[in-house]
Chain A
Amino acid sequence: DSGVTQTPKHLITATGQRVTLRCSPRSGDLSVYWYQQSLDQGLQFLIQYYNGEERAKGNILERFSAQQFPDLHSELNLSSLELGDSALYFCASSQTGGAPKNIQYFGAGTRLSVL
């Protein structure tokens, strides 16, 4: 158990809908990262938050947004869903936001199926 909790574990929805994925980081970790894993693209970095502020952006679509709340949990919002958004979405957390060798701990992921 990594200590990172993601809910829900599975999500099935239809095209055009909007969903929210939730992540609770490990106790004491200030940084949260979101990744998307699909068969054709592999594991891709989406976005990072550090202590409530956006720290880095990766290959995140404009239809996707995220935030980190004062209690440090994070939510990833996916809207106007398309079939191609079906993937595993992982959240990871780490103690700080920029130190080298900063270990990221991954949650078990949310499997999103868009039908």
Chain B
Amino acid sequence: TQLLEQSPQFLSIQEGENLTVYCNSSSVFSSLQWYRQEPGEGPVLLVTVVTGGEVKKLKRLTFQFGDARKDSSLHITAAQPGDTGLYLCAGERGATNKLIFGTGTLLAVQP
């Protein structure tokens, strides 16, 4: 059973378009992280959200943590080919810093 479900699984868009990736769970997390992974590399942390309802912006990327801390979204404005990659959300539970990763969203931005 996958605790964190991401949608969509795959997304292919044109440069300049906007998109939103969703990360949903029935479980509460103490924090939620978003990573981007490129081929042949490990995941790289983009942002951590901790407080329910929190919104964080990283240039053209906007991250939101749900009020109940069970879900999150990632919105990209004016996507660029450099945004191409696998986007993973990961929830943290308990004191061990163990991360539960989502199912992943593979994004391809065509020039």
Contacts and interface: CB of A to CB of B under 8 A. Distances in A.
Interface of A: 2, 4, 31, 33, 35, 42-45, 48, 55-56, 58, 90, 92, 94, 96-109
Q: Which secondary structure dominates where chain B touches chain A?
A: loop
Contacts of B90: 43
> What size tier do the contact residues of chain B reach?
20 to 34
Given A42-B2, A100-B30, A101-B50, A2 B44 contact: yes
A100 B42 contact: no
Interface of B: 2, 30-31, 40-45, 48, 50, 88, 90, 92, 94-104
B99 A106 contact: no
Given A42-B101, A43-B88, A108 B50 contact: no
Closest 6 CB pairs of A and B: A106-B42, A56-B96, A43-B101, A98-B95, A56-B98, A102-B97
